[in-house]
A and B are shown apart, each in its own frame.
Chain A
Amino acid sequence: MKSKTFSPGGMHIPDHKDLTKNLPIEDMKPGKDLLFPLTQHIGVPSEAIVKKNDIVKIGQVIAKAKGNFSTNIHSSVSGVVKDIKEYPHSIEGLSMAIHIENDFKDEWCEEIKQPNITTLTQKELAKIIQDSGIVGMGGAQFPTHIKLQPPSNVKVDTLVINGAECEPYLTCDHRIMLEKTDEIIDGINIVSSVIPFDRVLIGVENNKMDAVEAINQYVQKHKTTVNIQAIPLEKKYPQGAEKNLIQALTGRIVPIGKLPFEVGCIVQNVATLKAISHAVRMGTPMIDRVLTATGDCLKEPKNIRVRLGTLLSDVVGYCGGFVKEPKELVFGGPMMGINQRSQDVPVLKGTSGIIFLSELEDLNEGSCIRCGRCIENCPMGLMPYRIVELTKNKKYQETERYFSTSCIECGLCTYNCPSRIPVLNYIRTSKSEVIRLRRKS
């Protein structure tokens, strides 16, 4: 099968996936202290419903969703609430978090029972997903139940599943597709039982052909009511970006400023589908996730299932410590991930990778030599260097003529700039200024 892709732009980046791609997922036992930030999704922070010294069990709700754009948070261990206060947070810097001390008894909350579900409505499924605290596990942490409730005036016909894993270093989705094929397909069946899709397309970069085969063989063996197909994609970053993935798989182009619904698609990550399967079949909420701990500094890079809330220092210990002093610590992939200041931060729902890098990127900004590389590789077809020029001259509003707000922040422009101009930083500035000015008027 010929690999599909999007155009224009995009490029292959040295992926360093060999470090972990053949390592089966290991189960890591949780440590003594765990932190549960109240912000683990885009939207309103959840509301803590436990107090200091409360005893909690695995799967127990410790923070409740506040409004529709919010989700529940569950304890991933049994133990006692030590404190609820501001702790370091990977994305927010500081955030309210619940500190739980593990009692190592691993007792499950009694309320968690295998539900007896035969048929579900769209509403019921959305409720289960929200109550189970499921958010997009690819990194964006967008509440999944919202994505699964398309507005009534649009016709959605395709479920697009992101198994591209185009970020360098990360291999957790690859391993999930290989080892948990059944759970992913089950998740798909559940979702398509409430939304009548014509087809389900799973996009996988062709450096994971084993995953493509595993899925397609599984689907052939187990008849599914909906038509499911894994499709190889070219190794080209950012193949997994929502709009690019839709284009690669369906040929449809999401118009500027619009959502995938507009072209009849819903996009979900493979790990998210696995979580949906767990929630519906076994009633287990989101208490753990698979992530890739890697980088040139870790002694033993691994794919591991980690309880949410686990501190990074525990993960480092589990991976045998360091062979090199890390300079930089990234949550997520190296292209779009977020730096962490220390190892005192916990694993979150969207933490797909923890990467320890010994080399800091070259930050010596030179002047633009007008090489055109940023234009050539931009997956949104923008002219990043112009946005930089205008932003430097504080002409923020003019950057809109160059569609600065369409930037998906994939980072390729900065990655490629031979003059080491942090192109994306300038674009971020212009975007937030444009939005600020829009609000004002």
Chain B
Amino acid sequence: MSRYVITASPHIRNKVNTVFLMNTVSISLLPAAMGGIFIFGWKNTLPVILVSIVSAILSEGLLQKMLKMPLTWFDGSAALTGFLLALTCPPGIPIWLPVVGTIFAIFSKQVFGGLGQNPFNPALIGRAFMVLSFPVYMTSWMKPFSMVTSSTPLALYAENGGMKSVLAFFQGNVPAMYKSMFLGIRGGSIGEVFIPGLLLGLVVLLLTKTIKWQIPVSYLGTVFLLSWLFGMDPVFSILSGGVMFGAFFMATDYVTSPMLPKNQLIYGFGCGLLNVLIRVFANMPEGTTFAILLMNVVTPILDRKIKKPVGYIVDGAK
């Protein structure tokens, strides 16, 4: 008589696995990516994206081979890192740059023991490395629908003295500014400019229960309120730079963000706070990358909290 396999219960599994989750995030990035490709032209964007993804996957495979770790280069996480990194790059950068960036990103993950062990978001570490090592390339921005380099609204804001210069750029027309900021008709990184695409991606992530609402909402909410308190235009603040991209896709990275919903609210608040402070007080137009990386450091501290189980009684109460 046939012999059946013996395993411990449960004997069924949810269909959602790591590959599925990673790929869901990648798919939810597509609308924003397509917006960027359309706005900046495929020649300036598509090669960056493809090279970045391929080089991330290859670096992961090679590193895992070298470090004699189990090969998981096709689990979708390396591809996602590459995709995320490419979308934070300015369009038209030299193609070797994302290669360097992804190698660094993947390396930063594997040295800590691979997926799940890395304290920092790999894509953001890769980007931080690129910004610090090749600042010129990483801050030369391209004007939408043309090949001439321009400045980003945020750079205008930071370098030329505030909102006035931004508005001057839009000939003083506030609704026109909002509209073009919303539609991504501005200088910026490939994936961060097309706001409708980012929002659509967020909806996909929330509907598929890939992420929870806590981090994006508290992050954006904090940026909005604090910018307003600091006398900045709050709408401009959340539409500009990589705030939305960061709040939706970077700060929500499972590995480097806290697990309990309450801690996620604190984490999102911290990201927003640091982001605004960097914008206001440091001599940097963008703050998203470093704000989130700094909060990555806080995650393990937040995660130390022990949740009280159902039926818990305080000692002495009974």
Contact = CB atoms under 8 A, between A and B. Distances in A.
Interface stretch (A54-62, A267-275, A327-335): A327-335
A415 interface: yes
B134 to A, nearest CB: 31
Nearest to A425: B8
Interface stretch (B10-18, B37-45, B232-240): B10-18
A435 interface: no
A418 B116 CA distance: 12
Contact of B116 (A258, A334, A368, A415): A368
A318 B4 CA distance: 20
B27 interface: no
Interface string B86-120: 00000000000000000000000000011111000
Contacts of A253: 310-311
B10 A419 contact: no
Contacts of B77: 369
- How many A residues touch the partner, as a band? 35 or more
Contact of A361 (B7, B114, B307): B7
Given A341-B6, A375-B260, A361 B12 contact: yes
B111 to A, nearest CB: 15
Interface in A289-331: 313, 325-330
A411 B254 contact: no
A339 B4 contact: yes
A138 interface: no
A424 B8 contact: yes
B210 to A, nearest CB: 9
A360 B254 CA distance: 28
A253 B317 CA distance: 15
A87 B52 CA distance: 61
B8 A383 contact: no
A357 B116 contact: no
B280 interface: no
A329 B3 CA distance: 9
B11 A381 contact: no
Nearest to B18: A418
Contacts of A255: 311-313, 318
Nearest to A361: B13
Contacts of A363: 7
Given A254-B311, A403-B309, A337 B116 contact: no
B18 A369 contact: yes
B5 interface: yes
B309 A335 contact: no
B9 A338 contact: yes
Contacts of B117: 367
B17 A420 contact: yes
B306 interface: yes
Contact of A328 (B11, B14, B306, B312): B11
A197 to B, nearest CB: 23
B17 A419 contact: yes
B21 interface: yes
Interface in A375-404: 375, 379-383, 385-386, 401-403
Nearest to A379: B310
B297 interface: no
Given A366-B75, A370-B254, A256 B11 contact: no
Contacts of B20: 418
A90 to B, nearest CB: 11
Contacts of B114: 367
B308 interface: yes
Contacts of B147: none
B313 A414 contact: no
Contact of A419 (B5, B18, B259, B310): B18
B133 interface: no
Contact of A357 (B11, B309, B311): B11
A166 B233 CA distance: 53
A360 B5 contact: yes
A422 B116 CA distance: 16
A401 B72 contact: no
Contacts of B75: 366
B255 interface: yes
A150 interface: no
Contact of B260 (A325, A366, A367, A372): A372
Given A256-B313, A371-B21, A327 B5 contact: yes
Interface-central residue, B1, B10, B313, by most chain A CB under 10 Å: B10
Interface-central residue, B7, B12, B77, B117, by most chain A CB under 10 Å: B12
B4 A256 contact: no
A111 interface: no
A390 B219 CA distance: 32
Nearest to B1: A342
B9 A335 contact: yes
Contacts of B4: 326-329, 339-342
Given A329-B4, A343-B1, A382-B307, A362 B13 contact: yes
**A-B interface, 5 closest residue pairs, ranked by CB to CB distance from nearest:** A411-B10, A372-B259, A367-B116, A381-B309, A339-B6
19 contacts: A253-B310, A254-B311, A255-B311, A256-B313, A326-B4, A334-B11, A336-B9, A341-B4, A342-B1, A343-B1, A343-B2, A360-B7, A361-B7, A368-B116, A382-B307, A402-B306, A415-B10, A422-B8, A424-B8
Interface of B: 1-14, 16-18, 20-21, 72, 75, 77, 113-117, 254-255, 259-260, 306-313, 318
Given A335-B10, A339-B4, 4 more contacts: A360-B5, A369-B116, A418-B14, A428-B8
